Amino acid sequence: MNYSDIKIIIPTCNHYLHLNEGLLWTLDKFWPNHGDVILVGYEHPKFKLGKGVEFVSMGEQTGPEDWSNDLIRFFKDFTDAFFINAIDDSLMTRNADVTQLEYLFNMLKNDEDIGKIFIHGSLNYPKMRVRLEDPKYSLVTINQDSNYRTSIQSAIWRRSYFLQLLKPNLDPWAYEMQHVKNDGVTILSTSSNHPTMYSHLYRKGGHFMKTAWWKSVFEPTELGEEDKAHLSKMLNLK
């Protein structure tokens, strides 16, 4: 499997479905050579899907507690050894470092002890990281006893590790709150010069950010004025 073959999987729900139009637009703008995208949801989107984007319906949406049950069914058919996950209520905010992403993917592919690599600095806090893994791209290893090792912030995943953590009857928050520790699996994160960056559209509870939906989460970058105007119109943001 080559870097160009790795697919981006975006789980979504009916409430957030329309936001994916913005995420897909920023993916194409800031990461134009990304792999194919699979949007995994329920109701079919009303916006047009671009080239290389597939929508997979999991049937009727029954509630957040079935999030993991529905993904377990999806991953029975999705058999790629690796994938990248993306968050439906996010937007990319700047160009991706494709050279670094390819480097990270090859590191994951060639080391079976690595379960995933965060691609924007998630869990990059001093108490969570144990050592410098690779000075070339400021990679650090996440401590075995850190919380949120199961975070669904964007990462390159080994499919087998994701499924190992994907227990039945979990909503996304419960999945993250498993706090699986001391499992012996290596999890890496960039500590600076992240290969991708994004912003959040919603805060917990489902409300738009009052002012800063265009600002990056882990660094002081943000979308330009033209992009902000385009996305505001596309997604009816304020």
Average pLDDT score, the chain: 91
Angle at 47 between CA 236 and CA 3, to 5 degrees: 105
Q: Could you give the residue ranges of the DSSP H alpha helices within the chain?
A: 20-30, 67-77, 98-110, 159-165, 172-176, 225-235
Q: According to the model, what pLDDT value does residue 65 have?
A: 92
Question: Could you report the per-residue pLDDT of 190-231, keeping only the tens digit for each?
Answer: 888 899 999 988 866 555 555 689 999 889 999 999 999 999
70-108 pLDDT tens trace = 999 999 999 999 999 999 999 999 999 999 999 999 999
Go through the domains of the chain in sequence order and give each one's CATH number.
Answer: 3-110+148-180+195-235 (3.90.550)
Could you give the CA distance from residue 99 to residue 90 in angstroms, rounded to a whole number? 23
The reported pTM is 0.93
Residue 228, classified by CB atoms within 10 Å of its CB into exposed (0-12), middle (13-18) or buried (19+), is middle
Residues 149, 152, 158, 162, Cα dihedral to 10°:
80
**What pLDDT is stored for residue 128 in this prediction?**
64
Nearest to 150 by CA among 162, 133, 132: 162
